[in-house]
Structure 1
Amino acid sequence: MLTRKQQELLSFIDNRLKADGVSPSFEEMKDALSLRSKSGIHRLINALEERHFIRRLPNRARALEVLRLPDAMAPAMAVKPRPALPEPANDSVSVPLHGRIAAGLPLEALESDRTLAVPAALLGPGDHYALEVSGDSMIDAGIFDGDYALVRRCEDARDGDIVVALIDDSEATLKYLRREKGMIRLDPANPTHEPQRYRPDQVRVQGRLAGLLRRYH
């Protein structure tokens, strides 16, 4: 039997996977369960993994798979079953690679005609592009300097989503998006960096983070 918090977390992860196809970040899990720190989320994740309710997908940041739900939650699955995960494959698709994006202070948004080969299994529905990450402000979200952010194009986002935000039509940055007292707050995932605040007319959402690619040298 799961504890109340374990069941709440499992339900939250399952609902986000059904809605977006991407598991929530640890920061989003912490906020959803009203916990003070992400260490509590780590303990809950470990407990669910040990009991074979979830598993971590290798070589992918923020990648969790729900293996099963408790009996009390089973009817929800019968009403709306989760789509089957794609079979592992070597197929790849080319997505536009639009320069570097800051995971620190904003950098000039760069355009290029380069492309990046991405395993097809990493991409869900929709139009995607890639950006090379520069900086360390999102390291607590598992996003590091030199990673390639895979972004699903969209123009809106929910509070807590990791987005590509275009500032004043000239600078782009990768941050958590939150709305606060009529302003847009772009939050880092690194305690050494400060949040950035802008008027709504200064910020345009260019997409939501859908996945990451990392090269090891």
Structure 2
Amino acid sequence: MLNAAPHYLQRLPNLPMAQAWRTIAPEALIEVPLLGQVSAGLPIEACPGTDYIRAPARMVRRNTYALQVCGDSMIDCQIHDGDVIIIERQESAENGETAVVMINDREVTLKKLYIDRDGVRLQPANDAMAPIYLKNADVRVLGLVMGVVRQPDRLN
């Protein structure tokens, strides 16, 4: 499958993440900044990149960027190791949202976010992995997942 086009998945609102994806055609591709990697496993140090990826215009808003996923903690939400996720920059998230979060201003991870008065639970979407529990002050939401760009050699 040389030079095959990527597979584009757009998130549908108000559905559980595992069922919230619609395959879309790659019409009107535009460049989105690929700012580095995000862990879908143990948090990794934030290391910004300066590359670009092409994504369908309907997945891109005013404050959109992309991150490459490293790890398997979100596989039950159809986000796999090597996927590039399209993120809408936001500073808050509802309980249960799949979000990119920064921990202690230095590590980033991709998890489902649950907040209560006792703290924050970062929940993987993989039963083989344990949640991460933190204080509210230790977590900052960076954005929400709006789409996935999957390379043809990674199609499941």
Structure-2-length-normalised TM-score: 0.83
Larger helix percent: 1
What is the letter of the counterpart of residue 114 of structure 2?
A: R
The residue aligned with 1:108 is 45
C-alpha separation in 2, matches of 1:209 and 1:159: 14
Query: How far apart are residue 126 of structure 1 and its match?
Result: 3.3
Of residues 96-105 and 174-183 in structure 1, the stretch that sits farther from structure 2 once superposed is: 174-183
Instruction: Please tell me whether the aligned partners of residues 141 and 189 of structure 1 are also in contact (alpha carbons under 8 angstroms).
Output: yes
CA offsets 1:116-173 (integer angstroms, 9 cap, x no match): 11111233x4310000000001000101000001000010010010000000111000
What is the letter of the counterpart of residue 46 of structure 2?
A: A
Instruction: Please tell me whether the aligned partners of residues 22 and 63 of structure 1 are also in contact (alpha carbons under 8 angstroms).
Output: no
Question: What SS class does the counterpart of residue 101 from structure 1 fall into?
Answer: strand
Instruction: Please tell me whether the aligned partners of residues 91 and 141 of structure 2 are also in contact (alpha carbons under 8 angstroms).
Output: yes
The residue aligned with 2:31 is 94
Of residues 137-146 and 179-188 in structure 1, the stretch that sits farther from structure 2 once superposed is: 179-188
Question: What SS class does the counterpart of residue 20 from structure 2 fall into?
Answer: coil
What runs of 5+ residues in structure 2 fail to find an aligned partner? 1-10
What is the letter of the counterpart of residue 62 of structure 1?
A: A
The residue aligned with 1:62 is 20
Which of the numbers 63, 74, 84 marks the counterpart of 1:138?
A: 74
Q: CA RMSD in A?
A: 2.2
Question: What SS class does the counterpart of residue 47 from structure 2 fall into?
Answer: coil
Q: Does residue 192 of the first structure (1) align with residue 150 of the second (2)?
A: no
Larger strand percent: 2
- Note closer, same or farther for the CA distance 1:201–1:133 as it changes in structure 2 (3 Å cut): same
Question: What SS class does the counterpart of residue 112 from structure 2 fall into?
Answer: strand
What are the within-5 Å matches in structure 2 for residues 114-193 of structure 1? 114-123=51-60, 125-193=61-129
C-alpha separation in 2, matches of 1:154 and 1:201: 17
Query: How far apart are residue 64 of structure 1 and its match?
Result: 4.9
- Note closer, same or farther for the CA distance 1:192–1:89 as it changes in structure 2 (3 Å cut): closer
- Note closer, same or farther for the CA distance 1:89–1:144 as it changes in structure 2 (3 Å cut): closer
* Identical-residue share of aligned pairs (%): 35
- Note closer, same or farther for the CA distance 1:23–1:215 as it changes in structure 2 (3 Å cut): farther
Instruction: Please tell me whether the aligned partners of residues 136 and 144 of structure 1 are also in contact (alpha carbons under 8 angstroms).
Output: yes
What runs of 5+ residues in structure 1 fail to find an aligned partner? 1-19, 28-60, 66-86
- Note closer, same or farther for the CA distance 1:135–1:88 as it changes in structure 2 (3 Å cut): closer
C-alpha separation in 2, matches of 1:102 and 1:216: 21
C-alpha separation in 1, matches of 2:143 and 2:78: 18
Instruction: Please tell me whether the aligned partners of residues 184 and 197 of structure 1 are also in contact (alpha carbons under 8 angstroms).
Output: yes
Question: What SS class does the counterpart of residue 143 from structure 1 fall into?
Answer: coil
C-alpha separation in 1, matches of 2:63 and 2:22: 22
Instruction: Please tell me whether the aligned partners of residues 12 and 20 of structure 2 are also in contact (alpha carbons under 8 angstroms).
Output: no
Query: How far apart are residue 25 of structure 1 and its match?
Result: 2.3
